[in-house]
Structure 1
């Protein structure tokens, strides 16, 4: 495809920025960014896509704490996560930002914050601004959904795309929604690769729900956009990692004839 889908209205601010810009903004606001290992920063220099989401939050007596998970897809096919802690030290004070490379460091930093001992469990997410999507993700659009499913499966070029049984099931769809699940297409590194991931969720006539996961990328001989469709998010993300590794092994195309 040559034109990406429109993203949800509650998408995080500046989500069209490149992975490098997301990283620069995170490091610029974090008070302890200088403590991050140099190797981590070097690996993030070749990021292909960025995804940010709220992990947990707690608000009590004017004090607040939120944690965010920032994940980057790297050019070698791996994924790297940084954890951001946002909190205030006294009621009404400006929020402070900290960044950590693993959850254990994040837990240690969170434990020292002046929050009541009855704070909710760390893993329990609550509604908060910025990266929250549940309200929008539940909205389905009744817009010839069976035809949308047919067109999606028809343009999929991967051999392991969903089978005829899935196609038959989706012929009963009465509504659908499209959600961008991992970044927007963006160019990064010498390979100049583009990646994006979309969830196509279908509401069936019997009330059931089925999702297809579309990977759009440019790991092709001529750099064109290629569409692959998978039946699960895990399968789609594994495909992204494989394609990223493949793109890193492929020599960069030189300039064409003058």
Structure 2
């Protein structure tokens, strides 16, 4: 996998790089390529998965900042300090989620907690770290960026409206790619004690939350599929591409 092969940001189906191709975009890509060399769980990754869910420097419409090198250093230190070194995606996700939110263990000198109703005021990763709090969207974006910094393919997912009623509120979490499939989990400040393996250990994964056709989406980078990722804080914005994940969540959570 090469730098040249990964600069697919400039193809016709990919969003432009916000004028950042000589700055943030390239710096994030360099960190991502280094992660492929450093971590066994990142080796052998498909180019498409790497481009979209590791190398991509942003998730939705959050402010673009050069946070990847900062996170790479901090998260790498968490991995190096582990009593038992993680060997696969599941174990590294658990290790990071258990340690990246507390100042005592995250090498970032800032504890991050959940605080509702912060988006769109505070949801880019740098703001979340500076303020020390964010709602589900902000902690999800920070979690995704932390995982990507050490070669774990991840993306933001969620629903814009529970039960397809906007007054019922929205929610965001993350999806992680392992074994050719997407699995989901929340950032610990929004939902602790969850696993990648069991959909039903998430508080929202239930028939009641699926009722009336709740729709689900995951954010991506490539626009070629034509699906929009609906952002509850910016519903008129159709610029962020996504995958429609409704069928998966309705099936997985409808059985809980």
Is the structural similarity TM-score above 0.5? no
Q: Give the number of the structure whose alpha-carbon radius of gyration is greater.
A: 1
Q: TM-score, normalised by structure 1?
A: 0.30
Whose helix fraction is larger, Structure 1's or Structure 2's? 2
Higher strand share: 1
TM-score (norm 2): 0.30
